[in-house]
Amino acid sequence: MKKTALIFGISGQDGSYLSELLLTKGYRVVGSSRDAQMSRFSNLVRLKIRDQVEVESAALNDFRSVLQVLKKIRPDEVYNLAGQSSVGLSFDQPVESFESISIGTLNLLEAIRFLEAPIKIYNASSSECFGNTDGRPADEFTPFRPRSPYAVAKAAAFWQMANYREAYGLFACSGLLFNHESPLRPQRFVTRKIVNAACRIAAGMNEKLELGNISVERDWGWAPEYVEAMWLMLQQDNPDDYVIATGETNRLEDFVDGVFTSLGLNWGEHVKTNRNLFRPTDILTVKANPGKAAQKLGWKARYKMRDVARMMVEEEKEGWEKL
């Protein structure tokens, strides 16, 4: 029988790519939005799959709303990708960030427990939970030390998932995803900001790209690959949590260089540092050990940082050429 997947946060980068993947696997895909009648679902339109996806109105911070949509759709799998998704924005909106991520996850878990339905649930956790690891690669046993309101909320949601798995036997998994990018990223994310500005400069616009701390180090991967790891977690015999990353760490400066070099530009001539863009607290170095995902899921990233920079530039240039 055809499986049904319910995706909370379907309109975002990961939700859209996950929808595309699940459709190729023969799933019935249903997505939620606070107001499905008014939402544009532009990413689904961009991927040319909007007409293949059903949508329902639901708000994760409203328990009754969550319960209703679960009873109506009766999904086999639930993917929780909703909630505030920007680390920087969470410093300006800490309460909204915590409620949308942590309370939303708790409502979803409690609704599934209440229904006593055999629903498998995936939760989008984050490498931000680890904080600084003093240069050691983070794995599934690395202690959390969150350094932003966003990371605190993600850490709380992670432990809620683990608690419901252990206390009530739910098939509940969290993916500790490191940075994963694509052309579907909103421009408030630094990678898309860099790509967009570099393409404007290459097109002849006279401007400077202002960035914060470009010495920070991150593990950047390709988002369309990472959604496959999400799906694989729910196909296992037993629920578990996994670090999902490339295993390669680069400075933000290296990402900037990769973007500008692919356009034949010297980034040093076009980029300046703005200390107002520094975060109150930040993670300087991020390293990951995705060995468990490779061993148990058979998942390994094919694309690394410079591949990601090049592919994002290629798609951005296509968009400019169509204007």
Catalytic residues: 126, 128, 150
The three-state (H, E, C) secondary structure of 267-317, written as one string? HHHCEEECHHHCCCCCCCECCECCHHHHHHHCCCCCCCHHHHHHHHHHHHH
Residue 96 sits at the vertex; the CA angle it makes with 275 and 177, to the nearest 5 degrees, is: 70
Query: Bridge partners of 77?
Result: 5, 120
CB atoms within 10 A of CB 230: 26
3-state SS, one letter per residue, for 54-114: EEEECCCCCHHHHHHHHHHHCCCEEEECCCCCCHHHHHHCHHHHHHHHHHHHHHHHHHHHH
At 302, list the tokens. Answer: 């094919």
Contact 52, 22 (CB under 8 A): no
Tokens 């010297």 -> residue: 266
Indicate the pairing of strand 271-273 with strand 250-251. unpaired
Q: In one letter, which amino acid is 140?
A: E
Instruction: Please tell me whether residue 140 adopts helix, strand or coil conformation.
Output: coil
**What is the distance of C-alpha 204 from the center of its chain?**
33
Tokens found for residue 80: 């929780």
CA gap 163, 165 in Å, rounded: 5
